[in-house]
Chains A and B, each alone.
Chain A
Amino acid sequence: MSEQVFVLMDHGQGQIRSTSWETLRMGQLLAAETHASVTAVVLGHQVRQLAEQLASKALESVLCCDHPKLTQYDPDTYCAALGQLLEAEQPRLLLLGHVYQNIDLAPKLAASLGTGLVTDCIGFKLQGEELLFIRQMFRNKLNADVAVQSATPWIVTMQSGAYSADELQEGQARLEERQLSLEQVSARRRQLEAIEGMKGSVDLTKAEVIVGVGRGIKKAESLEMIRELASLLGAEIGASRPVVDNEWLERERQIGSSGQNVAPRLYLSCGISGAIQHIVGIKGSQCIVAINSDPNAPIFNVARYGIVGDLFEVVPALIKELRAAKS
Protein backbone atom coordinates (compact mmCIF):
# COMPACT_ATOMS: atom_id res chain seq x y z
CA MET A 1 0.00 0.00 0.00
CA SER A 2 1.27 3.46 -0.81
CA GLU A 3 1.92 5.97 1.93
CA GLN A 4 -0.95 8.11 3.06
CA VAL A 5 -1.27 11.85 3.58
CA PHE A 6 -4.14 12.81 5.88
CA VAL A 7 -5.68 16.27 5.83
CA LEU A 8 -7.88 17.41 8.72
CA MET A 9 -10.86 19.40 7.43
CA ASP A 10 -11.89 22.10 9.91
CA HIS A 11 -15.40 23.38 9.85
CA GLY A 12 -17.67 25.85 11.52
CA GLN A 13 -21.34 26.74 11.05
CA GLY A 14 -21.76 23.72 8.80
CA GLN A 15 -19.06 24.78 6.36
CA ILE A 16 -15.56 23.62 5.67
CA ARG A 17 -13.06 26.39 6.35
CA SER A 18 -11.17 27.93 3.46
CA THR A 19 -7.73 27.14 4.91
CA SER A 20 -8.68 23.46 4.96
CA TRP A 21 -9.54 23.50 1.25
CA GLU A 22 -6.16 25.11 0.57
CA THR A 23 -4.41 22.55 2.75
CA LEU A 24 -6.20 19.77 0.91
CA ARG A 25 -4.76 21.15 -2.33
CA MET A 26 -1.29 21.05 -0.81
CA GLY A 27 -2.06 17.43 0.14
CA GLN A 28 -2.87 16.60 -3.49
CA LEU A 29 0.35 18.18 -4.75
CA LEU A 30 2.49 16.54 -2.10
CA ALA A 31 0.90 13.16 -2.69
CA ALA A 32 1.48 13.45 -6.44
CA GLU A 33 5.17 14.14 -5.94
CA THR A 34 5.73 11.46 -3.32
CA HIS A 35 3.49 8.77 -4.85
CA ALA A 36 1.23 8.82 -1.84
CA SER A 37 -2.53 8.92 -1.52
CA VAL A 38 -4.61 11.65 0.11
CA THR A 39 -7.33 11.15 2.67
CA ALA A 40 -9.54 13.90 4.04
CA VAL A 41 -10.61 13.58 7.67
CA VAL A 42 -13.76 15.11 9.10
CA LEU A 43 -14.21 15.16 12.85
CA GLY A 44 -17.37 16.28 14.60
CA HIS A 45 -20.98 15.42 15.28
CA GLN A 46 -23.55 15.15 12.50
CA VAL A 47 -20.95 15.96 9.91
CA ARG A 48 -21.87 13.37 7.28
CA GLN A 49 -23.04 16.10 4.92
CA LEU A 50 -19.61 17.78 5.11
CA ALA A 51 -17.91 14.47 4.35
CA GLU A 52 -20.18 14.09 1.33
CA GLN A 53 -18.96 17.42 -0.07
CA LEU A 54 -15.49 15.95 -0.11
CA ALA A 55 -16.45 12.80 -1.97
CA SER A 56 -16.30 14.69 -5.27
CA LYS A 57 -12.61 15.59 -4.90
CA ALA A 58 -9.67 13.62 -6.22
CA LEU A 59 -8.86 11.77 -3.01
CA GLU A 60 -8.30 8.20 -1.98
CA SER A 61 -10.94 8.41 0.71
CA VAL A 62 -12.84 10.58 3.13
CA LEU A 63 -12.92 9.40 6.72
CA CYS A 64 -15.87 10.63 8.68
CA CYS A 65 -15.52 10.39 12.46
CA ASP A 66 -18.84 11.23 14.02
CA HIS A 67 -19.27 11.28 17.78
CA PRO A 68 -21.47 13.33 20.13
CA LYS A 69 -18.41 14.16 22.23
CA LEU A 70 -16.94 15.94 19.22
CA THR A 71 -19.81 18.43 18.98
CA GLN A 72 -17.66 21.20 20.39
CA TYR A 73 -13.91 21.45 20.28
CA ASP A 74 -11.84 20.80 23.36
CA PRO A 75 -8.19 19.78 23.21
CA ASP A 76 -8.44 16.62 25.35
CA THR A 77 -11.22 15.01 23.33
CA TYR A 78 -9.97 16.10 19.90
CA CYS A 79 -6.45 14.98 20.71
CA ALA A 80 -7.70 11.59 21.87
CA ALA A 81 -9.88 11.23 18.77
CA LEU A 82 -7.14 12.08 16.31
CA GLY A 83 -4.64 10.02 18.25
CA GLN A 84 -6.86 6.94 17.93
CA LEU A 85 -7.45 7.49 14.26
CA LEU A 86 -3.76 8.02 13.48
CA GLU A 87 -2.72 4.97 15.49
CA ALA A 88 -5.14 2.83 13.56
CA GLU A 89 -4.44 4.21 10.09
CA GLN A 90 -0.72 4.97 10.29
CA PRO A 91 -0.45 7.75 7.71
CA ARG A 92 2.93 9.29 7.04
CA LEU A 93 1.68 12.84 7.38
CA LEU A 94 -1.17 14.78 8.91
CA LEU A 95 -1.72 18.22 7.39
CA LEU A 96 -3.81 20.91 9.08
CA GLY A 97 -4.48 24.59 8.52
CA HIS A 98 -2.53 26.95 10.79
CA VAL A 99 -5.71 28.38 12.32
CA TYR A 100 -6.66 29.17 15.92
CA GLN A 101 -8.10 25.75 16.71
CA ASN A 102 -5.13 23.86 15.35
CA ILE A 103 -2.63 26.14 17.06
CA ASP A 104 -4.37 24.92 20.22
CA LEU A 105 -4.47 21.28 19.16
CA ALA A 106 -1.49 20.32 16.96
CA PRO A 107 1.33 20.76 19.53
CA LYS A 108 -0.60 18.69 22.07
CA LEU A 109 -1.20 15.96 19.53
CA ALA A 110 2.46 15.94 18.46
CA ALA A 111 3.65 15.84 22.06
CA SER A 112 1.27 13.05 22.98
CA LEU A 113 2.31 10.95 19.96
CA GLY A 114 5.98 11.88 20.25
CA THR A 115 6.10 12.94 16.61
CA GLY A 116 7.59 15.97 14.86
CA LEU A 117 5.50 19.05 14.14
CA VAL A 118 6.28 21.81 11.65
CA THR A 119 4.01 24.84 11.95
CA ASP A 120 2.83 27.64 9.66
CA CYS A 121 4.41 26.24 6.50
CA ILE A 122 4.18 27.98 3.15
CA GLY A 123 5.30 25.08 0.98
CA PHE A 124 7.30 21.90 0.64
CA LYS A 125 10.09 20.61 -1.54
CA LEU A 126 11.77 17.32 -2.26
CA GLN A 127 15.52 17.21 -2.06
CA GLY A 128 16.49 13.82 -3.35
CA GLU A 129 14.41 11.51 -1.21
CA GLU A 130 14.05 13.98 1.61
CA LEU A 131 10.86 15.90 2.15
CA LEU A 132 11.45 19.46 3.37
CA PHE A 133 8.90 21.95 4.61
CA ILE A 134 9.31 25.67 4.02
CA ARG A 135 8.42 28.13 6.75
CA GLN A 136 9.18 31.72 7.68
CA MET A 137 11.40 32.51 10.66
CA PHE A 138 13.04 35.51 12.27
CA ARG A 139 10.18 37.99 12.00
CA ASN A 140 9.30 36.70 8.54
CA LYS A 141 12.57 38.01 7.18
CA LEU A 142 14.08 34.60 6.38
CA ASN A 143 12.75 31.35 4.99
CA ALA A 144 13.82 28.00 6.38
CA ASP A 145 13.82 24.52 4.83
CA VAL A 146 12.92 22.18 7.66
CA ALA A 147 13.48 18.43 7.87
CA VAL A 148 11.72 16.09 10.27
CA GLN A 149 13.21 12.95 11.75
CA SER A 150 10.80 11.25 14.06
CA ALA A 151 8.19 8.56 14.26
CA THR A 152 5.25 9.12 11.90
CA PRO A 153 2.81 10.67 11.38
CA TRP A 154 4.63 13.95 11.04
CA ILE A 155 2.26 16.79 11.68
CA VAL A 156 2.40 19.90 9.52
CA THR A 157 0.27 23.05 9.73
CA MET A 158 -0.15 25.25 6.65
CA GLN A 159 -0.40 29.03 6.46
CA SER A 160 -3.65 30.48 5.06
CA GLY A 161 -3.28 31.38 1.42
CA ALA A 162 -0.21 29.23 0.83
CA TYR A 163 -2.09 27.16 -1.77
CA SER A 164 -5.05 27.93 -3.95
CA ALA A 165 -8.26 26.05 -3.30
CA ASP A 166 -9.36 26.88 -6.86
CA GLU A 167 -6.82 24.39 -8.11
CA LEU A 168 -8.28 21.45 -6.18
CA GLN A 169 -8.61 18.43 -8.47
CA GLU A 170 -12.09 17.02 -8.79
CA GLY A 171 -12.61 13.30 -8.78
CA GLN A 172 -14.13 10.65 -6.63
CA ALA A 173 -13.38 9.58 -3.13
CA ARG A 174 -14.54 6.62 -1.08
CA LEU A 175 -16.53 7.79 1.92
CA GLU A 176 -15.95 5.74 5.03
CA GLU A 177 -17.07 6.02 8.62
CA ARG A 178 -14.70 5.38 11.48
CA GLN A 179 -15.95 4.58 14.97
CA LEU A 180 -13.97 6.14 17.79
CA SER A 181 -14.30 5.15 21.41
CA LEU A 182 -14.21 8.33 23.40
CA GLU A 183 -16.23 7.22 26.43
CA GLN A 184 -13.14 7.17 28.64
CA VAL A 185 -12.05 10.70 27.73
CA SER A 186 -12.92 13.41 30.20
CA ALA A 187 -12.35 16.92 28.95
CA ARG A 188 -10.66 19.15 31.50
CA ARG A 189 -11.45 22.31 29.57
CA ARG A 190 -15.01 23.51 29.36
CA GLN A 191 -16.26 25.84 26.66
CA LEU A 192 -18.33 28.76 27.96
CA GLU A 193 -19.85 31.64 26.01
CA ALA A 194 -18.48 33.21 22.85
CA ILE A 195 -18.51 36.98 22.44
CA GLU A 196 -18.04 39.31 19.53
CA GLY A 197 -15.33 41.75 20.48
CA MET A 198 -14.81 44.08 17.56
CA LYS A 199 -18.14 45.82 17.66
CA GLY A 200 -17.70 49.52 17.97
CA SER A 201 -18.30 52.81 16.30
CA VAL A 202 -15.90 52.19 13.43
CA ASP A 203 -16.85 49.99 10.51
CA LEU A 204 -13.87 49.76 8.19
CA THR A 205 -15.46 47.12 5.98
CA LYS A 206 -17.34 49.76 3.99
CA ALA A 207 -14.58 52.37 3.76
CA GLU A 208 -13.58 53.34 0.21
CA VAL A 209 -10.15 54.65 1.16
CA ILE A 210 -8.10 53.51 4.16
CA VAL A 211 -4.78 54.74 5.46
CA GLY A 212 -3.23 51.78 7.30
CA VAL A 213 -0.70 52.54 9.97
CA GLY A 214 1.82 50.14 11.48
CA ARG A 215 4.46 49.98 14.14
CA GLY A 216 6.74 52.07 11.92
CA ILE A 217 4.87 55.10 13.30
CA LYS A 218 6.71 54.42 16.59
CA LYS A 219 4.51 56.45 18.94
CA ALA A 220 0.97 57.70 19.43
CA GLU A 221 1.88 61.37 18.99
CA SER A 222 3.04 60.77 15.43
CA LEU A 223 -0.45 59.66 14.47
CA GLU A 224 -1.36 63.34 14.08
CA MET A 225 0.14 63.42 10.59
CA ILE A 226 -1.66 60.18 9.68
CA ARG A 227 -4.93 61.81 10.77
CA GLU A 228 -4.23 64.79 8.58
CA LEU A 229 -3.36 62.59 5.60
CA ALA A 230 -6.53 60.56 6.11
CA SER A 231 -8.66 63.65 6.35
CA LEU A 232 -7.22 65.08 3.12
CA LEU A 233 -7.90 61.77 1.36
CA GLY A 234 -11.36 61.37 2.89
CA ALA A 235 -10.06 58.12 4.33
CA GLU A 236 -10.62 56.04 7.45
CA ILE A 237 -7.62 55.05 9.55
CA GLY A 238 -6.88 51.36 9.99
CA ALA A 239 -4.03 49.76 11.89
CA SER A 240 -1.88 46.70 12.29
CA ARG A 241 -2.16 44.82 15.53
CA PRO A 242 0.83 46.24 17.46
CA VAL A 243 -0.53 49.78 17.04
CA VAL A 244 -3.71 48.64 18.75
CA ASP A 245 -1.93 46.45 21.33
CA ASN A 246 0.04 49.54 22.36
CA GLU A 247 -3.26 51.40 22.74
CA TRP A 248 -2.28 54.05 20.21
CA LEU A 249 -5.59 53.42 18.41
CA GLU A 250 -8.88 51.69 19.28
CA ARG A 251 -9.22 47.93 18.83
CA GLU A 252 -11.93 48.39 16.17
CA ARG A 253 -9.36 49.83 13.82
CA GLN A 254 -7.33 46.65 13.72
CA ILE A 255 -7.19 44.98 10.33
CA GLY A 256 -6.26 41.34 9.84
CA SER A 257 -7.00 37.80 10.93
CA SER A 258 -8.01 38.88 14.41
CA GLY A 259 -9.45 42.21 13.27
CA GLN A 260 -11.55 43.39 10.35
CA ASN A 261 -11.33 42.35 6.71
CA VAL A 262 -11.44 45.40 4.48
CA ALA A 263 -12.01 45.95 0.77
CA PRO A 264 -11.36 49.60 -0.05
CA ARG A 265 -10.54 51.04 -3.46
CA LEU A 266 -7.29 52.32 -2.00
CA TYR A 267 -5.29 50.96 0.94
CA LEU A 268 -2.32 53.19 1.72
CA SER A 269 -0.08 51.42 4.23
CA CYS A 270 2.53 53.32 6.21
CA GLY A 271 5.15 51.44 8.23
CA ILE A 272 3.46 48.03 8.04
CA SER A 273 5.72 45.03 7.38
CA GLY A 274 3.09 42.79 5.80
CA ALA A 275 2.79 39.79 8.11
CA ILE A 276 0.32 37.19 6.82
CA GLN A 277 -2.12 37.96 9.66
CA HIS A 278 -2.36 41.51 8.34
CA ILE A 279 -2.35 40.62 4.64
CA VAL A 280 -5.38 38.34 4.95
CA GLY A 281 -7.36 41.38 6.08
CA ILE A 282 -6.44 43.62 3.12
CA LYS A 283 -6.54 41.07 0.29
CA GLY A 284 -9.83 42.49 -0.97
CA SER A 285 -8.36 45.96 -1.60
CA GLN A 286 -8.41 47.15 -5.19
CA CYS A 287 -5.12 49.05 -4.98
CA ILE A 288 -2.53 48.71 -2.25
CA VAL A 289 0.23 51.26 -1.78
CA ALA A 290 3.12 50.50 0.58
CA ILE A 291 5.45 52.98 2.22
CA ASN A 292 8.20 51.18 4.12
CA SER A 293 11.86 51.89 4.80
CA ASP A 294 12.83 48.22 4.36
CA PRO A 295 13.05 47.21 0.67
CA ASN A 296 12.59 43.54 1.65
CA ALA A 297 9.37 44.10 3.59
CA PRO A 298 6.79 41.51 2.44
CA ILE A 299 4.11 44.20 2.14
CA PHE A 300 5.66 45.08 -1.25
CA ASN A 301 4.66 41.61 -2.52
CA VAL A 302 1.00 42.57 -2.40
CA ALA A 303 1.34 46.24 -3.33
CA ARG A 304 0.64 47.84 -6.69
CA TYR A 305 2.81 50.87 -5.91
CA GLY A 306 5.73 50.81 -3.52
CA ILE A 307 7.81 53.54 -1.94
CA VAL A 308 10.98 52.56 -0.12
CA GLY A 309 11.46 55.44 2.25
CA ASP A 310 10.97 57.03 5.61
CA LEU A 311 7.30 57.58 6.31
CA PHE A 312 8.23 60.64 8.36
CA GLU A 313 9.38 62.23 5.10
CA VAL A 314 6.94 60.70 2.60
CA VAL A 315 3.74 61.31 4.58
CA PRO A 316 4.42 65.06 5.10
CA ALA A 317 5.26 65.34 1.39
CA LEU A 318 1.93 63.71 0.51
CA ILE A 319 0.13 66.09 2.86
CA LYS A 320 1.82 69.06 1.21
CA GLU A 321 0.85 67.90 -2.30
CA LEU A 322 -2.75 67.23 -1.29
CA ARG A 323 -3.05 70.59 0.44
CA ALA A 324 -1.65 72.37 -2.61
CA ALA A 325 -4.14 70.56 -4.84
CA LYS A 326 -7.01 71.64 -2.57
CA SER A 327 -6.21 75.36 -2.58
Chain B
Amino acid sequence: MKIVVCLKEVAGRDTRYRIEPGGRWIEESDLSYEINECDEYALEEALKLQEKHGGEVTVLTLGRSRAEKSMRKGLAMGAHRGTQVIDAEGRATSPHAIAAALAGALKGEEFDLILAGTQSDDYSYAQTGVILAELLGLPHATIVMEIDVDTEASQLKALREMESGWFQWVQLPMPALLTIQAGIAKVRYPSLKGIMQAKKKEIRQIPLEQLSIDWDSLPKVEVRRLYLPEIASKAEMLEGDPSTVASTLLEKLKKEARVL
Protein backbone atom coordinates (compact mmCIF):
# COMPACT_ATOMS: atom_id res chain seq x y z
CA MET B 1 0.00 0.00 0.00
CA LYS B 2 1.32 3.41 -0.95
CA ILE B 3 0.58 6.17 1.50
CA VAL B 4 1.30 9.89 1.15
CA VAL B 5 1.39 12.02 4.29
CA CYS B 6 1.00 15.81 3.98
CA LEU B 7 3.36 17.25 6.47
CA LYS B 8 3.54 20.94 7.23
CA GLU B 9 6.29 22.73 9.07
CA VAL B 10 4.99 25.35 11.51
CA ALA B 11 6.55 27.78 13.98
CA GLY B 12 7.09 26.16 17.39
CA ARG B 13 4.58 26.14 20.18
CA ASP B 14 6.29 28.69 22.37
CA THR B 15 6.80 31.25 19.59
CA ARG B 16 6.32 34.86 20.59
CA TYR B 17 5.08 36.23 17.30
CA ARG B 18 6.18 39.62 16.04
CA ILE B 19 4.27 41.36 13.29
CA GLU B 20 6.20 42.75 10.34
CA PRO B 21 6.15 46.51 9.77
CA GLY B 22 3.45 46.39 7.08
CA GLY B 23 1.13 44.73 9.62
CA ARG B 24 0.13 42.03 7.17
CA TRP B 25 2.15 39.03 8.23
CA ILE B 26 4.45 37.77 10.98
CA GLU B 27 8.21 38.23 11.04
CA GLU B 28 9.41 34.83 9.89
CA SER B 29 13.11 35.32 10.52
CA ASP B 30 14.67 33.57 13.51
CA LEU B 31 11.67 31.47 14.48
CA SER B 32 12.15 27.83 15.31
CA TYR B 33 10.05 25.28 13.47
CA GLU B 34 8.52 21.89 14.11
CA ILE B 35 6.17 19.43 12.40
CA ASN B 36 2.50 20.42 12.68
CA GLU B 37 1.06 18.40 15.57
CA CYS B 38 -1.68 16.41 13.84
CA ASP B 39 0.57 15.78 10.82
CA GLU B 40 2.93 13.97 13.16
CA TYR B 41 0.01 11.86 14.31
CA ALA B 42 -0.92 11.28 10.64
CA LEU B 43 2.61 10.08 9.90
CA GLU B 44 2.55 7.76 12.90
CA GLU B 45 -0.72 6.24 11.70
CA ALA B 46 0.67 5.87 8.16
CA LEU B 47 3.74 4.05 9.48
CA LYS B 48 1.51 1.69 11.49
CA LEU B 49 -0.60 0.94 8.40
CA GLN B 50 2.52 0.37 6.35
CA GLU B 51 3.94 -2.01 8.97
CA LYS B 52 0.71 -3.98 8.83
CA HIS B 53 0.01 -3.98 5.10
CA GLY B 54 3.42 -3.38 3.50
CA GLY B 55 4.16 -0.76 0.87
CA GLU B 56 5.74 2.62 1.46
CA VAL B 57 5.17 6.01 3.02
CA THR B 58 6.03 9.28 1.31
CA VAL B 59 6.02 12.59 3.15
CA LEU B 60 4.92 15.59 1.11
CA THR B 61 5.46 19.20 2.07
CA LEU B 62 5.26 22.66 0.62
CA GLY B 63 7.25 25.43 2.20
CA ARG B 64 10.50 27.33 2.28
CA SER B 65 13.65 25.32 1.73
CA ARG B 66 14.24 25.15 5.52
CA ALA B 67 11.34 22.64 5.71
CA GLU B 68 13.86 19.96 4.78
CA LYS B 69 14.60 19.64 8.50
CA SER B 70 11.06 18.52 9.25
CA MET B 71 11.12 16.19 6.24
CA ARG B 72 14.25 14.56 7.63
CA LYS B 73 12.54 14.08 10.96
CA GLY B 74 9.65 12.38 9.17
CA LEU B 75 12.12 10.16 7.32
CA ALA B 76 13.87 9.39 10.62
CA MET B 77 10.55 8.30 12.10
CA GLY B 78 10.34 5.79 9.26
CA ALA B 79 8.91 7.40 6.12
CA HIS B 80 10.62 6.01 3.01
CA ARG B 81 11.00 9.12 0.90
CA GLY B 82 10.02 12.73 0.67
CA THR B 83 8.66 15.21 -1.86
CA GLN B 84 9.30 18.84 -1.10
CA VAL B 85 7.74 21.68 -3.05
CA ILE B 86 9.89 24.73 -2.49
CA ASP B 87 7.95 27.97 -2.29
CA ALA B 88 10.90 30.33 -2.04
CA GLU B 89 8.81 33.50 -2.03
CA GLY B 90 6.06 32.28 0.25
CA ARG B 91 3.49 32.63 -2.49
CA ALA B 92 1.16 29.77 -1.62
CA THR B 93 -0.59 30.91 1.56
CA SER B 94 -4.27 30.30 0.78
CA PRO B 95 -5.64 26.77 1.18
CA HIS B 96 -6.67 26.63 -2.49
CA ALA B 97 -3.13 27.54 -3.55
CA ILE B 98 -1.44 25.11 -1.15
CA ALA B 99 -3.76 22.29 -2.20
CA ALA B 100 -3.21 23.09 -5.89
CA ALA B 101 0.56 22.89 -5.38
CA LEU B 102 0.33 19.63 -3.43
CA ALA B 103 -1.93 18.18 -6.15
CA GLY B 104 0.60 19.30 -8.77
CA ALA B 105 3.41 17.56 -6.92
CA LEU B 106 1.41 14.32 -6.85
CA LYS B 107 0.83 14.30 -10.59
CA GLY B 108 2.08 11.00 -11.99
CA GLU B 109 2.54 9.52 -8.50
CA GLU B 110 0.75 6.37 -7.46
CA PHE B 111 -0.96 6.16 -4.10
CA ASP B 112 -3.73 4.29 -2.31
CA LEU B 113 -4.20 6.66 0.58
CA ILE B 114 -3.36 10.27 1.42
CA LEU B 115 -3.31 11.40 5.03
CA ALA B 116 -3.33 15.06 6.01
CA GLY B 117 -3.82 16.73 9.36
CA THR B 118 -7.18 18.04 10.52
CA GLN B 119 -5.76 21.54 10.76
CA SER B 120 -2.49 23.39 10.80
CA ASP B 121 -1.38 25.02 14.05
CA ASP B 122 -0.33 28.26 12.30
CA TYR B 123 -3.05 29.06 9.72
CA SER B 124 -5.71 26.76 11.20
CA TYR B 125 -7.77 26.71 8.00
CA ALA B 126 -8.93 23.11 8.38
CA GLN B 127 -9.35 23.12 4.59
CA THR B 128 -6.24 22.00 2.75
CA GLY B 129 -6.76 18.23 2.97
CA VAL B 130 -10.36 18.30 1.76
CA ILE B 131 -9.61 20.72 -1.09
CA LEU B 132 -6.75 18.45 -2.14
CA ALA B 133 -9.15 15.50 -2.19
CA GLU B 134 -11.58 17.42 -4.38
CA LEU B 135 -8.82 18.51 -6.78
CA LEU B 136 -7.68 14.90 -7.12
CA GLY B 137 -11.24 13.59 -7.39
CA LEU B 138 -10.87 11.45 -4.26
CA PRO B 139 -13.47 10.62 -1.63
CA HIS B 140 -12.52 11.90 1.83
CA ALA B 141 -13.34 11.80 5.52
CA THR B 142 -12.24 14.35 8.12
CA ILE B 143 -11.25 14.33 11.80
CA VAL B 144 -10.37 10.66 11.83
CA MET B 145 -9.40 8.77 15.01
CA GLU B 146 -9.04 5.19 13.71
CA ILE B 147 -8.44 3.53 10.32
CA ASP B 148 -9.14 0.00 9.25
CA VAL B 149 -7.91 -0.87 5.74
CA ASP B 150 -9.13 -3.80 3.67
CA THR B 151 -6.48 -4.03 0.94
CA GLU B 152 -8.20 -6.95 -0.82
CA ALA B 153 -11.42 -5.05 -1.34
CA SER B 154 -9.51 -1.80 -1.79
CA GLN B 155 -11.65 0.01 0.73
CA LEU B 156 -11.28 1.35 4.23
CA LYS B 157 -13.27 2.17 7.30
CA ALA B 158 -12.52 5.37 9.17
CA LEU B 159 -13.78 6.44 12.58
CA ARG B 160 -14.75 10.10 12.48
CA GLU B 161 -14.83 12.13 15.68
CA MET B 162 -18.15 13.91 16.20
CA GLU B 163 -19.53 16.34 18.76
CA SER B 164 -19.71 15.56 22.49
CA GLY B 165 -17.92 12.26 22.64
CA TRP B 166 -19.62 10.51 19.72
CA PHE B 167 -17.84 8.77 16.86
CA GLN B 168 -19.04 7.67 13.45
CA TRP B 169 -17.68 4.84 11.28
CA VAL B 170 -17.69 5.54 7.56
CA GLN B 171 -16.61 3.40 4.63
CA LEU B 172 -14.72 4.66 1.59
CA PRO B 173 -13.31 3.13 -1.57
CA MET B 174 -9.58 3.63 -2.08
CA PRO B 175 -7.73 5.69 -3.15
CA ALA B 176 -9.04 8.13 -0.57
CA LEU B 177 -7.91 11.07 1.54
CA LEU B 178 -8.36 11.22 5.31
CA THR B 179 -7.64 14.10 7.65
CA ILE B 180 -6.23 12.90 10.93
CA GLN B 181 -7.05 14.19 14.38
CA ALA B 182 -4.45 14.51 17.13
CA GLY B 183 -4.46 11.54 19.48
CA ILE B 184 -5.04 8.81 16.88
CA ALA B 185 -1.92 6.91 18.00
CA LYS B 186 1.08 7.35 20.24
CA VAL B 187 3.75 9.12 18.22
CA ARG B 188 7.13 7.39 18.13
CA TYR B 189 10.46 9.10 18.60
CA PRO B 190 12.99 8.67 15.82
CA SER B 191 15.61 6.08 16.77
CA LEU B 192 19.31 6.76 16.38
CA LYS B 193 19.38 4.26 13.54
CA GLY B 194 16.40 5.99 11.95
CA ILE B 195 18.18 9.33 12.14
CA MET B 196 21.26 7.88 10.45
CA GLN B 197 19.21 6.24 7.70
CA ALA B 198 17.17 9.40 7.12
CA LYS B 199 20.28 11.23 5.96
CA LYS B 200 20.52 8.92 2.98
CA LYS B 201 16.86 8.82 2.02
CA GLU B 202 15.70 10.57 -1.13
CA ILE B 203 13.95 13.93 -1.03
CA ARG B 204 12.63 15.02 -4.41
CA GLN B 205 12.66 18.80 -4.52
CA ILE B 206 10.34 20.67 -6.85
CA PRO B 207 10.43 24.46 -7.21
CA LEU B 208 6.89 25.83 -7.05
CA GLU B 209 7.33 27.57 -10.43
CA GLN B 210 7.78 24.19 -12.09
CA LEU B 211 4.22 23.18 -11.23
CA SER B 212 2.76 25.79 -13.62
CA ILE B 213 -0.13 26.75 -11.37
CA ASP B 214 -2.70 29.05 -12.90
CA TRP B 215 -2.70 31.54 -10.04
CA ASP B 216 -5.36 33.79 -11.55
CA SER B 217 -7.88 30.99 -11.63
CA LEU B 218 -7.59 30.34 -7.87
CA PRO B 219 -9.94 32.04 -5.42
CA LYS B 220 -7.97 34.63 -3.46
CA VAL B 221 -8.28 34.69 0.30
CA GLU B 222 -5.88 37.26 1.67
CA VAL B 223 -4.87 38.42 5.11
CA ARG B 224 -5.15 42.22 5.10
CA ARG B 225 -4.00 42.78 8.64
CA LEU B 226 -2.66 40.73 11.54
CA TYR B 227 -2.88 42.09 15.06
CA LEU B 228 -3.00 41.18 18.73
CA PRO B 229 -6.58 40.58 19.78
CA GLU B 230 -8.04 43.11 22.18
CA ILE B 231 -8.01 41.71 25.65
CA ALA B 232 -11.57 41.23 26.72
CA SER B 233 -10.64 39.96 30.14
CA LYS B 234 -12.76 40.91 33.09
CA ALA B 235 -10.69 38.69 35.36
CA GLU B 236 -9.40 40.05 38.61
CA MET B 237 -5.65 39.51 38.35
CA LEU B 238 -3.95 38.45 41.56
CA GLU B 239 -0.42 39.67 42.00
CA GLY B 240 2.49 38.94 44.29
CA ASP B 241 4.84 36.07 45.04
CA PRO B 242 3.45 32.53 44.77
CA SER B 243 2.54 32.17 48.43
CA THR B 244 0.78 35.55 48.50
CA VAL B 245 -1.30 34.82 45.39
CA ALA B 246 -2.08 31.35 46.74
CA SER B 247 -3.44 32.67 50.03
CA THR B 248 -5.27 35.58 48.37
CA LEU B 249 -6.90 33.21 45.90
CA LEU B 250 -8.11 30.77 48.56
CA GLU B 251 -9.43 33.65 50.64
CA LYS B 252 -11.36 35.07 47.69
CA LEU B 253 -12.75 31.70 46.66
CA LYS B 254 -14.10 31.26 50.20
CA LYS B 255 -15.31 34.73 51.10
CA GLU B 256 -15.96 36.51 47.81
CA ALA B 257 -16.97 33.89 45.25
CA ARG B 258 -18.14 31.46 47.96
CA VAL B 259 -17.26 28.41 45.94
CA LEU B 260 -15.06 26.66 48.47
Contacts and interface: CB of A to CB of B under 8 A. Distances in A.
Contacts of A189: 139-141, 170-172
Interface string A107-126: 11011101111111000000
Contacts of B227: 142-143
A172 interface: no
Secondary structure of the A contact surface, majority rule: mixed
Interface string A229-268: 0000100000001101101000000000111110001100
B108 interface: no
A1 interface: no
Interface stretch (A22-30, A31-39, A54-62, A144-152): A144-152
For chain A, give the interface size range. Answer: 35 or more
A198 B246 contact: no
Given A100-B143, A103-B142, A257 B169 contact: no
A117 B221 contact: yes
A219 interface: no
Interface string A284-302: 0011011000001010110
Nearest to B138: A188
Given A139-B122, A190-B171, A241-B183, A306 B235 contact: yes
Contacts of B157: 192
Interface in B11-31: 11, 13, 15, 17, 19, 26
Contact of A303 (B143, B226, B233): B233
A286 B259 CA distance: 8
The 6 A-B pairs at the shortest CB distance, nearest first, are namely: A198-B165, A150-B219, A245-B183, A107-B130, A317-B246, A111-B134
Interface of A: 75-76, 98-100, 103-104, 106-108, 110-112, 114-120, 127, 132, 135-151, 188-199, 209, 233, 241-242, 244-245, 247, 257-261, 265-266, 286-287, 289-290, 296, 298, 300-301, 303-309, 313-314, 316-318, 320-322, 325
